[in-house]
């Protein structure tokens, strides 16, 4: 009998391990949110919004906030991998639409990871005399191996790197406000008039700034690996958004104070300009932090995209082979390898700015569908299990703000 039970147990497909706590999940969220967006795109945002770049980050944070609370409820209703697909399937009762959304989410992660990998390779190129394409492939391959290692190990690696990159942003803020020569703007110059054509530039810059916030929603896609998701998911999502918003606005303001805006707008490595007059050792130290920050984004987006493909396959929406989980590491090995290959192809095919804009648009499209799904679920008033709840006004504003920001791409 025992032998039969053992045989039956061994025949069961491997499942993901619930190992993530609130601190680890928050660091995971910060790791995928804080990274290439702020380290690379501050200059581009300043080129669009001028002195009002911090306002663009504030607008992006507000847009994200409504949808973040929608995700907090939905991730406790359905704590599974491929979260957005599960939410849309429940809200619209459509497996086909769920598959489209799941693939869109996975694609956004892979496109974002490709953009980040290009940025990481650019920083590395300054230290290592190797072809850019080779460095990009090396970054993606190494991060893929870490992602295959195990969820606890890969998130712990990402958490350590996240602490380093957050330290880098704090360093930029402190140096920009307290040690560098104030060659840029005064604080009063960063407050926009209530009316005027400058709001078109601020709106366009907000779409770029939004890319810097892309990531918190990825936390929903590791919900199947979270201990006590009902208690953990809302806290981790809110903490991630608050900490990221404070870091972004403080960093952008510090850079605008320290660096002339014309110089900033033309830079591919904007944060390093704050240390232009600093000792060489400090400049080199920050360059290393910037490399670490961008590499981390590749790892965490890779983890997210592979879990989405796994979740879709596990529910029969994609080929079953993508749901294969390693018995040894309990990670979705086939899905992870597929994600690595797609990211490498994207890095070789598209430039970083195009990748960033496409990522933002895909994510905003998903945000609209996820918020509408929550509205439909609430209107049904079905008997519900205990989970985190938000008022109806939250997903309604989530839809409106996402649509408005999506529309700025055509202004």
Q: What is the pLDDT of residues 98-156, one digit of tens each?
A: 888 888 888 888 887 887 787 777 767 767 778 878 888 888 888 888 778 776 666 67
Tokens 């400058």 found at: 198
Q: Which residues pair with 130 in a beta bridge?
A: none
Asked if 218 and 109 touch (Cβ cutoff 8 Å), the reply is yes
Task: Say what the pLDDT of residue 268 is.
Answer: 63
Tokens of 72: 């907090």
Enumerate residues 6+ apart whose C-beta is below 8 A from 398: 66, 67, 69, 70, 367, 370, 371, 374
Query: What are the structure tokens assigned to 85, written together?
Result: 């697909």
Q: pLDDT value at position 1?
A: 47
The residue written with tokens 């202004």 in the block is 411
Residues in the chain: 411
CA nearest to 300, candidates 240, 345, 376, 368: 240
Contact 252, 54 (CB under 8 A): yes
* Average pLDDT of the residues in 49-55: 91
20: helix, strand or coil: strand
pLDDT tens digit sequence for 247-270: 999 999 999 999 888 888 777 678
Conformation bin of residue 50: beta by default, left when phi > 0, alpha when psi is -120 to 50: left
Collect all residues with Cβ–Cβ distance below 8 Å to 100 and sequence separation of at least 6: none
pLDDT value, residue 393: 95
338 near 312, Cβ under 8 Å? no
Q: Rounded to the nearest 10 degrees, what angle do helices 83-92 and 53-77 cross at?
A: 70
Say what the pLDDT of residue 352 is.
64
Q: 80 Cβ partners below 8 Å, 6+ apart?
A: 86, 223, 224, 311
Looking at residue 27, its pLDDT comes to 81
Rounded mean pLDDT of 368-377? 94
Mean pLDDT of all residues in 82-92: 83
C-alpha–C-alpha distance, residues 269 and 11, integer Å: 52
Side-chain half-sphere exposure of 255, counting CA atoms within 13 A:
35
Q: Which residues pair with 226 in a beta bridge?
A: 20
Q: Give the chain's domains with CATH numbers.
A: 37-303+340-380 (1.20.1740.10)
How confident is the model over 198-227, as a mean pLDDT?
79
In order, the DSSP letters of 86-119 are HHHHHHH--HHHHHHHHHHHHHHHHHHHHHHHHH
Q: 372 near 91, Cβ under 8 Å?
A: yes
Side-chain-side CA neighbours of residue 210 (13 Å): 33
Separation in Å, CA 6 to CA 323, 329, 330: 22, 20, 19
pLDDT at 353: 64
- Write down the mean pLDDT value for the chain: 81
- Hey, CA dihedral for 176, 181, 182, 184, is it positive or negative? negative
């Amino acid at each position: 009998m025992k032998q039969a039970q053992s045989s039956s147990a061994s025949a069961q497909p491997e499942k993901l391990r619930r190992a993530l706590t609130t601190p680890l999940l928050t660091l995971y969220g910060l790791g995928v949110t804080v990274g290439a967006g702020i380290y690379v795109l501050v200059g581009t945002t300043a080129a669009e919004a001028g002195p009002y770049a911090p306002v663009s980050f504030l607008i992006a944070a507000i847009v994200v906030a409504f949808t973040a609370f929608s995700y907090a409820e939905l991730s406790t209703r359905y704590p599974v991998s491929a979260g957005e697909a599960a939410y849309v399937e429940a809200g619209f009762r459509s497996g086909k639409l769920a598959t489209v959304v799941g693939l869109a989410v996975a694609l956004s992660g892979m496109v974002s990871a490709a953009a980040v990998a290009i940025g990481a390779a650019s920083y590395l190129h300054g230290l290592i005399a190797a072809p850019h394409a080779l460095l990009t492939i090396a970054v993606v391959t190494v991060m893929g191996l870490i992602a295959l290692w195990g969820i606890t190990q890969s998130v712990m690696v990402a958490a350590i790197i996240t602490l380093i990159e957050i330290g880098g942003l704090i360093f930029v803020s402190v140096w920009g406000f307290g040690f560098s020569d104030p060659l840029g703007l005064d604080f009063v110059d960063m407050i926009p008039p209530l009316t005027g054509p400058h709001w078109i530039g601020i709106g366009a810059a907000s779409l770029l700034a939004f890319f810097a916030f892309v990531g918190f929603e990825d936390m929903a896609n590791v919900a199947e690996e979270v201990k006590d998701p009902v208690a953990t998911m809302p806290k981790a999502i809110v903490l991630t958004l608050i900490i990221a918003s404070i870091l972004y606005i403080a960093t952008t303001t510090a850079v605008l104070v320290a660096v002339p805006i014309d110089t900033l707008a033309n830079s591919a490595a904007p944060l390093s300009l704050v240390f232009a007059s600093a000792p060489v050792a400090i400049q080199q130290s920050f360059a290393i932090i910037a490399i670490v920050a961008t590499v981390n984004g590749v790892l965490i987006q890779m983890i997210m995209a592979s879990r989405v493909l796994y979740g879709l396959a596990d529910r029969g929406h994609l080929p079953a082979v993508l749901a294969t989980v390693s018995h040894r590491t309990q990670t979705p090995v086939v899905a992870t390898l597929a994600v690595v290959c797609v990211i490498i192809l994207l890095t070789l095919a598209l430039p970083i700015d195009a990748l960033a804009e496409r990522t933002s648009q895909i994510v905003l499209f998903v945000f609209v569908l996820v918020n509408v799904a929550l509205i439909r679920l609430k209107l049904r008033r079905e008997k519900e299990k205990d989970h985190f709840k938000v008022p109806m006004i939250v997903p309604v504003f989530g839809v409106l703000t996402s649509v408005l920001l999506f529309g700025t791409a055509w202004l």
